[in-house]
């Protein structure tokens, strides 16, 4: 056999090996067995089809990298393992509408997101993450990515269950707090109020209050103080003297921990917000905090690269009987946030946050 023929055979063999290796590298990741894929797609009131595990297995799997900033200003880069929405529609033989006004996504936990997009060219449904070269499960999947080019975390909805293209006018918007911790997009929001927390003693909570809701930033200081658990709460605004509220807002809260029950003392967040205000010159009560949508918390040991949006509370949750308690931690003299409300994801420690320094309150734009 001539050297020329041997060279040709060698080249073909190398090419085949390379092709096999490339195919192995591009082999799609298996959809996790415990991940439920059952997403209905509508155009207005007309059902177009349902996305299932079998649907996705017949669509090209892609890695979608997004560098985003969440609602508390944390920047992070995520690589989603995802499938093109248009490719999914093609697989289902769905004809997508030529004109799109918006897209509404319902989550399996009851939350709703509305995306003001006019195209689905950059929309995806994700099943997990890339962690280096390995697949990483996503406990909030499946997610709907409305625009892979977006820099906002608000372009992503988690626990996707139902997608409505061109929702009817009465379907637009929706109520905040209509269920759960579903979407990462609480509608268009803005940070309106910042509460910085310190304790003068275990009964007196001092709050430096920053109001960003108007055209200019306003600052006030609130102090809530109770001499003892049986006394009446005193309220102080700015440099004014303490005023007796005539009611005991200072409460005890029992927390069930690993070592048994621990009793903490503090104030309900709803009571604190209700007392953020003063009597104006017309002798009328003027509240500092107007209607809001979501409350977020910042802890001294938070990492800049991590996303803490899952531990948010809606206004409805703050106002509920179980509520949110701002408690004094004798162990370190700092604040704990505690609640008896159920948590969809215990790993977020939403109901027992330690070392809380700041409360951020958001309103709809």
CB atoms within 10 A of CB 232: 13
How much is the pTM? 0.52
Token couple for 350: 């939403």
Bridge partners, 42 (sequence order): 47, 164
pLDDT at res. 21: 45
115 CB-near residues (< 8 Å, 6+ apart): 102, 103, 104, 105, 146, 147, 155, 157, 185
Q: What is the pLDDT along the chain (365 residues), one digit of tens a residue?
A: 565 565 655 656 555 555 544 444 468 999 999 999 999 999 988 899 999 999 999 999 999 999 887 655 667 889 999 999 999 999 999 999 999 999 999 888 777 888 989 999 999 999 999 998 899 999 889 999 999 999 887 889 989 999 999 988 754 434 333 333 333 444 557 888 999 999 998 899 999 999 988 778 889 999 999 876 567 899 999 888 888 888 889 988 888 777 788 899 999 999 999 999 888 788 888 889 878 888 999 998 887 667 777 788 888 888 887 789 999 999 889 999 988 876 555 555 778 899 999 999 988 76
d(CA 327, CA 339): 10
């Amino acid at each position: 056999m001539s050297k020329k023929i041997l060279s040709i055979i060698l080249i073909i063999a190398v090419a085949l090996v390379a092709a096999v290796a490339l195919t192995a590298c591009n082999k799609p990741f298996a959809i996790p067995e415990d991940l439920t894929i059952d997403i209905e797609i509508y155009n207005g009131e007309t059902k177009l089809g349902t996305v299932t595990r079998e649907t996705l297995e017949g669509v090209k799997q892609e890695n979608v990298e997004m560098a985003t900033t969440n609602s508390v200003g944390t920047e992070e880069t995520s690589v989603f393992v995802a499938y093109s929405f248009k490719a999914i529609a093609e697989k289902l033989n769905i004809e997508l509408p030529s004109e799109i006004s918006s897209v509404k996504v319902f989550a399996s936990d009851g939350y709703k997101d509305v995306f003001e997009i006019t195209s689905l060219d950059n929309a995806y449904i994700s099943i997990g993450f890339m962690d280096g070269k390995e697949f990483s499960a996503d406990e909030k999947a499946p997610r709907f990515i409305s625009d892979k080019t977006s820099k906002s975390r608000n372009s992503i909805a988690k626990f996707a269950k139902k997608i409505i293209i061109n929702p009817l006018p009465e379907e637009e918007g929706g109520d905040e707090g209509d269920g759960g911790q579903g979407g990462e997009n609480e509608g268009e929001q803005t940070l309106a109020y910042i509460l910085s927390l310190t304790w003068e003693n275990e009964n007196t909570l001092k709050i430096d209050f920053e109001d960003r809701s108007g055209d200019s930033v306003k600052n006030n200081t609130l102090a809530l103080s109770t001499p003892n658990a049986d006394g009446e709460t005193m309220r102080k605004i700015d440099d004014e003297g303490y005023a007796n509220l005539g009611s005991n807002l200072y409460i005890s809260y029992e927390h069930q921990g690993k070592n048994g029950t621990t009793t903490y003392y503090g104030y309900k967040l709803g009571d604190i917000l209700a007392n953020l205000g003063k009597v104006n010159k017309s002798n009328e009560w003027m509240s500092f905090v107007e209607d809001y949508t979501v409350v977020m918390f910042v802890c001294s040991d938070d990492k800049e690269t991590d996303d803490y949006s899952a531990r948010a509370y809606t206004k409805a949750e703050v106002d509920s009987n179980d509520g949110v308690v701002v408690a004094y931690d004798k162990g370190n003299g700092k604040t704990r946030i505690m609640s008896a409300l159920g948590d969809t994801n215990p790993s977020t420690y939403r109901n027992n946050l330690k070392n809380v320094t700041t409360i951020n309150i958001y309103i709809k734009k």
